[in-house]
Amino acid sequence: MDHFNYKGGALHAEDVALAEIARAVGTPVYVYSTATLTRHFNLFRQALDWTDHLVCFAVKANSNLAVLKLLGDLGAGMDVVSGGEYARARAAGVPGERIVFSGVGKTREEMAQAIRGGIRQFNVESEPELAALSQVAQSLGATVPIAVRVNPDVDAKTHAKIATGKSENKFGIPIARAREVYAHAAALPGLQVVGIDMHIGSQLTDLEPFRQAYTRMADLCLALRADGHPIMRLDLGGGLGIPYRRDNAAPPLPIEYGQVVRETVGDLGCEIEIEPGRNIAGNAGVLLASVIWTKQGEGRDFLIVDAAMNDLIRPAMYDAHHDILPVRERAPGTDPAPVDVVGPVCETGDTFARGVPLPRLEDGELVAFRSAGAYGAVMASEYNSRPLVPEVLVAGDRFDVIRPRPTIEEMLARDRIPDWLT
Ligand SMILES: *Cc1c(COP(=O)(O)O)cnc(C)c1O
């Protein structure tokens, strides 16, 4: 459930008409709902309320400071994968003891930044990283809590580009080598083994891969404890999928996911950490765009909108589907005609949807791409010198720009022409 609905024939974000935002800010623009972000975060909290837990929002899904502040103020922890994301979480007021640092290629500078600033735990993904972290921690006179990311070799049954838990993926250490790697970690100065970490992929629409992975984690937890490691935390990663098509069977709910967690690792007495990103932010955002015009092609019509692959790359990158809604409501079944919805960027890949039934849309009319709150604005670029897409946050009947659209002058001003060219 989200808070983007028609009221009086016009699509709203909570109590704000999207047309009003388009008038004030222009298009394209991302619009997020405070109520939906809050609701989704609370659903995860409730799903784990049977145990000690921390819901760490995966910052990479949506890293706008206002979104992080909103979630952080609700009590969320943060899962970060770079020094930049760590800085964002801190700037949003999240204390270091609620931040976990994931990622296969942390630099020594990033390690030092997080150790100095305060960190709940590093999720370590390799033996070279263990050695480096041990050195950095020692050089700062610190002892840092770590979990080792274990690759359970399960098939997450999701898009290949977002599957991370198979042995051929770059993530984590093979579960078969876990005991050896933990023994190595425990022997290194500056590190304190506190837990086990996993993250098997994103947009999972089936609970079975989670069940398999977490069952393996439970076995590993017992084996590591038998080896003398004080495993007190289990970080289960993120990955629970969202409905990208309103009319499709919905993926499992957070409460059902929480049940699987309870059944698999619930009796180990560990604090549970989870790292949902998409499920909190995905359906809490839309990308609002204007129709430029419709172009008649050979045997197909192209609806050309002012948003493009540089603003929302998921269709081009993951073959992702986003429902597209006219902001002005139509009576159901008003002569929908299949169109290809495309942006202005000079790439054939700049196609949002092929052959989708949409009512006839006037030039200048607004459309909303649903489910765009996660992996949307964070992946935006200025390709084709299109200024970076702005973001707006709605709360009830108010809205605020949380990232303004740069002017073309501001965009150009970032480049430098060397002396020898002038
Ligand atoms: C991407 C990622 C997440 C979040 O995944 P979602 O599918 O958005 O929930 C969590 N943890 C790690 C380590 C990640 O890389």
Question: Per-residue pLDDT for 1 more than 80?
Answer: no
Region 251-265 average pLDDT? 97
196 shares its domain with 267: yes
Last residue of a domain, one of 230, 258, 276: 276
The pLDDT of residue 27: 98
Last residue of a domain, one of 276, 304, 322: 276
Nearest alpha-carbon partner for 198 in 168, 230, 233, 157: 233
Q: Residue 331: pLDDT band by 50, 70, 90 thresholds? A: confident
Region 65-87 average pLDDT? 98
The number of distinct structural domains making up the chain is 2
The pLDDT of residue 249: 79
Q: Residue 164 Cα, ligand 1 centroid: separation in angstroms?
A: 10
The percentage of the chain sitting over the pLDDT mark of 70, rounded to a whole number, equals 99
In a domain, 419, yes or no: no
- CA distance linking residue 94 with residue 27, whole number of Å: 31
String of DSSP letters for 300-360? SEEEEES--TTT--HHHHH-----EEESB---TTS--EEEEEE-SSSSTT-EEEEEEEE--
Last residue of a domain, one of 243, 261, 276: 276
pTM: 0.97
CA dihedral sign, ordered 369, 374, 375, 378: positive
The pLDDT of residue 332: 78
The pLDDT of residue 217: 98
Catalytic residue among 56, 221, 270, 346: 346
pLDDT in tens, 362-410: 999 999 999 999 999 999 999 999 999 999 999 999 999 999 999 999 9
Domain at 379, CATH number: 2.40.37.10
List beta partners, residue 21.
none
Question: Per-residue pLDDT for 240 more than 90?
Answer: yes
105 shares its domain with 250: yes
Domain at 231, CATH number: 3.20.20.10
Indicate if ligand 1 lies below 6 Å from the C-beta of 149: no
The pLDDT of residue 299: 87
In a domain, 78, yes or no: yes
111 shares its domain with 246: yes
The pLDDT of residue 414: 97
Closest atom, ligand 1, to C-alpha of 197: 13
313 shares its domain with 409: yes
Q: Residue 199 Cα, ligand 1 centroid: separation in angstroms?
A: 7
8 shares its domain with 98: no
As given in the structure block, the two tokens for residue 100 are 């976990």
Region 24-40 average pLDDT? 98
Backbone torsions φ then ψ of 25, nearest 5 degrees: -110, -20
Q: Which domain holds residue 156?
A: 63-276
- CA distance linking residue 264 with residue 216, whole number of Å: 9
In a domain, 58, yes or no: no
The pLDDT of residue 105: 96
CB-based contact 351:345 (threshold 8 Å): no
Q: Write the single-letter amino acid at 248.
A: N
CB-based contact 151:172 (threshold 8 Å): yes
312 shares its domain with 364: yes
Question: Per-residue pLDDT for 73 more than 80?
Answer: yes
Q: Ligand 1: which of 85, 202, 235 to mutate, judged by most atoms within 8 Å of the beta carbon?
A: 202
Q: Could you tell me which residues are annotated as the binding site for substrate? A: 278, 314, 318, 347, 375
The verdict on whether 346 is a catalytic residue reads yes
The pLDDT of residue 285: 98
pLDDT in tens, 151-208: 999 998 888 888 888 878 888 999 999 999 999 999 999 999 999 999 999 999 999 9
Region 333-345 average pLDDT? 88
The pLDDT of residue 294: 96
256 shares its domain with 312: no
340 shares its domain with 256: no
Summary count for the chain: helices (H), strands (E) = 12, 21
The pLDDT of residue 87: 98
Nearest alpha-carbon partner for 62 in 287, 252, 213, 214: 287
Region 53-64 average pLDDT? 98
Indicate if ligand 1 lies below 6 Å from the C-beta of 235: no
The pLDDT of residue 417: 97
The pLDDT of residue 164: 84
* Beta carbons within 10 angstroms of residue 58's beta carbon: 29
Mean pLDDT over the full length of the chain: 96
241 shares its domain with 289: no
Region 25-46 average pLDDT? 98
358 shares its domain with 309: yes
207 shares its domain with 74: yes
The pLDDT of residue 239: 97
Question: Per-residue pLDDT for 282 more than 80?
Answer: yes
119 shares its domain with 268: yes
The percentage of the chain sitting over the pLDDT mark of 90, rounded to a whole number, equals 91
Q: Could you tell me which residues are annotated as the binding site? A: 239, 275-278, 314, 318, 347, 375
